[in-house]
A and B are shown apart, each in its own frame.
Chain A
């Protein structure tokens, strides 16, 4: 009688090999730009130009993200680590890349990381969010609007901001975030009062101080006064009232006021967010999946925040780069919102030029003030390869 082992070795082993998917290897990574037609009259509030990063594999699948990677980084750091290696070993790749550049460098290859996930999703035929926990199929959008004019918005009349908020509300969106950069901090409180009056009680208004970006940092009494004023107008949160590296100031403010104090968009790696969470720095942490190290790192941060009982609401972006953010957000248990940043138009208008790159009648499906998890595998963009060639910027 044929013994079991001999029989199986002869028959089952090749059978088993047939059933297993061969290892998918990364063959090349490239980064370039696309420029989309503007009909000779570009709208300053629309996006016509994108960096592109593509991860090629031996499975015939290409992963694409619309986040760039500098050529020298690509040639000297990324390709030597990824070239010929297993597409799926994201954690290992990120660790090796981080070894080379240190914590401060992690955002440099986030375009590659998003591209790897796009390729992984395409290979397995699922949206990336599905294998990272698959929590939700839509995220409520809040629109962050920077109005044309002065950076500090001091030349923007309150009524303009109120009218835009009303437009958002009528278009089905639930929330708007604007800058709190005006030279006299209490002016922004007055502005929120005007917006609140226009939109009524059921609309979320967030204020963003953006840490050091206004060029000067509030002292504690100023922040407290602003926060108290915002509370009166039932604003939802005040973001980065102090320096982004200040672990204690926001914690002190958060313990003193009821309005949420949020921040963290410039945090890199899990460790940075651990410091925020250990120090109770923010009521809500806001990792940016382009800056913190990628989709995978953002999910890790979300889990860490979950263990501290802290919501993790991702920082946002405007155009096609949003694809990876949506995947990360839909895989987080504690991320009810997605920020979409732009000017005083609707997201659908802002990214409409990108329709030329896609085979879908939408860039990201928006429904009832939510951005939906796209049905397409990977990070969800159904790219028209011919168009990508056509609009590629040479040289």
Chain B
């Protein structure tokens, strides 16, 4: 009797290709650096990206610009080389969960083999996503040197460019000052523009501050609510699952968070404790595109929205695919350095693309890329040209 495999290779081979496993043959980590002027560098124009390059025996390569330092390459190689490209859940379990930016490169390769953008393979919920810009001014990390007027002007500039929302830090030494900033921004932009505030959990340590106590969070949230802010993000510590829940129950403004977790377990815990009104997994930090999708399933079971924590420029490609697959209401673009707008800040990245744009942005929405994989039409010659190390 003809064996199963030989039958397939002879009788069926030409009709429809059988799904041979695609093996990962190598992984590379390197930086690309695009020369820019001193002025551009001072303005915080992006020009350096850590690249993850995944090679397969199908002749297709996958790329991610959310990479890691080369010293981490042996770990990721051990997880991936020789393995079946499509076995994403296995890779996550084998340790890739910690290297979400590398997972993006796998999906880029998968999408290129499938000749489809990744978001379509994972549910294809939306064809565009509303962008909000997270602005952090150069200078003091607590933004105490930035006037409310400057913040209002940036909001106007963002609004004029078609965007529908802006997020700023709630780090000022006197917490209620940020609510006053909200008031001034609201007066400038009118009612059709969303303003979000980010306390960023423990991060204000950088400005010599501690985590807010519950009452401070409550006072700020109430004041922000009065001035029509959309949400207050991470008002308390990341391992405090109770206080945000308590605050969320006490105020109407949305209390959001979740960028600091890896794997689906912490999100499960957030949902059990009703910690946040909106979950914000990071597109790479939580484990990658597939992990974001898994978090969205957990959240969907409780009717909790997911809005990804953001990224910027070429890195954003993977975040964008996850957002579109899930159908997130917003995609954060971060960090924007005023007075630059995103397309000015990431312009040097166009040098490695074959398109005249990085993402198509219309009326404040980022449109779903049509190119397969993560959606960037990469010029591999240019990657070689700008490669360092």
Give the docked Cα–Cα distance between A126 and B20 (Å): 9
Contact A92 B327, beta carbon cutoff 8 Å: yes
Measured between beta carbons, the chain A residues less than 8 angstroms from B370 are 16-17, 20
Query: Which of A4, A125, A303, A362 interacts with B264 by CB under 8 Å?
Result: A303
CA A303 – CA B24 in complex, angstroms?
Answer: 25
User: Are A12 and B89 interface neighbours, CB within 8 A?
Assistant: no
- For residue B78, CB closer than 8 A to chain A, the reply is no
> Is B126 part of the contact surface with A, judged by Cβ < 8 Å?
yes
Cβ contact of B4, chosen from A133, A274, A362, cutoff 8 A: A362
Q: Which residues of A contact B41 (CB under 8 A)?
A: none
Judging by beta carbons under 8 Å apart, are B88 and A270 in contact? Answer: no
Q: How far is the CB of A162 from chain B (nearest CB, A)?
A: 32
Q: Which residues of B have CB within 8 Å of A15?
A: 354
Q: How far is the CA of A90 from the CA of B122 in the complex (A)?
A: 8
Cβ–Cβ contact A271 & B301, under 8 A: yes
A19-B371, A361-B2 are known contacts. Are A303 and B121 too (CB-CB below 8 A)? no
Q: Are B84 and A375 interface neighbours, CB within 8 A?
A: no
Note all chain A residues with C-beta closer than 8 A to B16: 122, 125, 376-377, 382
Minimum CB–CB distance from B386 to chain A (whole Å) comes to 15
Asked if B19 and A126 sit within 8 Å, CB to CB, the answer is yes
Q: Does A157 contact B (CB under 8 A)?
A: no
Q: Given A124-B114, A333-B93, A359-B11, is A91 in contact with B268 using a C-beta cutoff of 8 Å?
A: no
> Is the CB–CB distance between A125 and B372 below 8 Å?
no
Per the bound structure, the CA–CA distance linking A12 and B381 in Å amounts to: 14
Q: Tell me the nearest residue of chain B to A359, going by C-beta.
A: B12
Asked whether, in the complex, the Cβ of A375 is within 8 Å of the Cβ of B264, the reply is no
A131 touches B114 (CB 8 A): yes
Question: With the chains together, A91 CA to B322 CA distance in Å?
Answer: 13
* Chain B residues within 8 Å of A331, by CB: 89
CA A12 – CA B352 in complex, angstroms?
Answer: 13
> Knowing A8-B356, A9-B356, A273-B301 touch, does A133 contact B327 (C-beta < 8 A)?
no
Q: Tell me whether A91 and B114 are in contact (CB under 8 A).
A: no
Chain A residues with CB under 8 A of B206? none
**Min CB gap B370→A, angstroms:** 4
Chain A residues closer than 8 Å to B123, beta-carbon distance: 89-92, 296
* Pair A133/B290 contact, Cβ less than 8 Å: yes
Query: Of A172-180, A223-231, A249-257, A304-312, which stretch is located at the interface?
Result: A304-312
A127 within 8 A of B: yes
A89 and B117 alpha carbons, distance in the complex (Å): 12
Which of A90, A126, A382 has the most B CB atoms < 10 Å from its CB?
A126
Q: Is the CB of A274 within 8 A of B93?
A: no
Q: How far apart are the CA atoms of A123 and B16 in the complex, in Å?
A: 11
At the interface, is chain A mostly helix, strand, loop or mixed? helix
Against B, the Cβ 8 Å flags (1 = close, 0 = not) of A263-298 are 000000011011000000000000000000000100
Interface: B305 (CB within 8 A): no
Contact B354 A134 (CB under 8 A): no
Q: Which residue of B lies closest to A12 (CB)?
A: B354
**How many residues of A are counted as interface, with CB atoms below 8 angstroms from the partner's CB atoms?**
54
- Which residue of chain B is the closest to A131 with respect to CB atoms? B121
CA–CA, A16 to B370, complex, Å?
9
Contact at B355–A126, with CB atoms within 8 Å? no
Interface: B302 (CB within 8 A)? yes
- The size class of the interface chain B forms with chain A is 35 or more
For A377, list chain B residues within 8 Å (CB): 16-17, 19
Q: What residue of chain A has the Cβ atom nearest to residue B112's Cβ?
A: A19
Chain B residues near A370 (CB-CB < 8 A): none
Residues of A contacting B57 in the complex (Cβ-Cβ under 8 angstroms): none
A20, B371: Cβ atoms closer than 8 Å: yes
A residues near B371, Cβ cutoff 8 Å: 16, 19-20
How far apart are A9's CB and chain B's nearest CB, in angstroms?
5
- Residues in chain A near residue B251, CB distance under 8 A: none
Mask of B322-342 contacts with A, CB within 8 angstroms, 1/0? 000101000000000000000
A16 and B355 contact, CB distance less than 8 A: yes
Q: Is the CB of B4 within 8 A of A365?
A: yes
Residues of B within 8 A of A41 (CB): none
Whether the pair B114, A270 counts as a contact (CB closer than 8 A) is no
Shortest distance from the beta carbon of A48 to any chain B beta carbon, whole Å: 25
Beta-carbon contact of A21 and B355 below 8 Å = no
* B377 in contact with A88 (CB, 8 Å): no
- Rounded to whole angstroms, the CA-CA distance of A376 and B11 in the bound complex is 13
Q: Does A182 contact B (CB under 8 A)?
A: no
Nearest neighbor of B125 in chain A, beta-carbon distance: A91
Most central of B11, B19, B355, B372 by chain A CB within 10 Å:
B19
Q: Is B214 an interface residue (CB 8 A)?
A: no
**B90 proximity list for chain A (CB < 8 A):** 134-135
Interface residues of A in 60-113 (CB under 8 A from B): 86, 88-92, 95
Instruction: Decide if A130 is an interface residue (CB 8 Å cutoff).
Output: yes
Q: Which residues of A contact B84 (CB under 8 A)?
A: 134
**A25 close to B (CB within 8 Å):** no
On whether A92 and B126 interact (CB within 8 A), knowing A13-B356, A270-B300, the answer reads yes
CA A8 to CA B377, docked complex, whole Å: 12
One of B11, B17, B116, B124 near A92 (C-beta < 8 A): B124
**In this assembly, does B226 line the interface, its C-beta being within 8 Å of a C-beta of chain A?**
no
Q: Are A124 and B115 CB-contacts (below 8 A) given A19-B371, A131-B110?
A: yes
| A92, A127, A362: most-surrounded residue (chain B CB, <10 A) | A92
Q: A116-153 interface mask toward B, CB cutoff 8 Å, 1 = contact, 0 = none?
A: 00001011111100110111000000000000000000
Within 8 A of A (CB), among B1-34: 1-2, 4, 7-8, 11-12, 15-20
Q: Is A300 an interface residue (CB 8 A)?
A: yes
User: B265 in the interface, Cβ–Cβ < 8 Å?
Assistant: yes
* A382 CB contact (under 8 Å) in B12, B298, B327, B350: B12
List 30 A-B residue pairs with CB atoms under 8 Å apart, sorted by A's residue number: A12-B356, A12-B377, A15-B354, A16-B354, A19-B372, A89-B124, A91-B125, A92-B123, A92-B124, A123-B114, A124-B113, A124-B121, A126-B86, A126-B114, A127-B19, A131-B122, A134-B86, A134-B88, A135-B87, A271-B301, A300-B297, A303-B264, A303-B298, A307-B298, A333-B89, A333-B93, A359-B15, A361-B4, A361-B7, A377-B19
**8 additional contacts, CB 8 Å, given A19-B377, A124-B113?**
A16-B370, A88-B120, A90-B123, A125-B17, A127-B19, A131-B122, A308-B268, A382-B15
| Residues of chain A whose beta carbon lies under 8 Å from any beta carbon of chain B | 4-5, 8-9, 12-13, 15-17, 19-21, 86, 88-92, 95, 120, 122-127, 130-131, 133-135, 270-271, 273-274, 296, 299-300, 303-304, 306-308, 331, 333, 359-362, 365, 375-377, 382
| A-B complex: 5 closest residue pairs judged by Cβ atoms | A91-B123, A124-B114, A88-B120, A130-B86, A307-B268
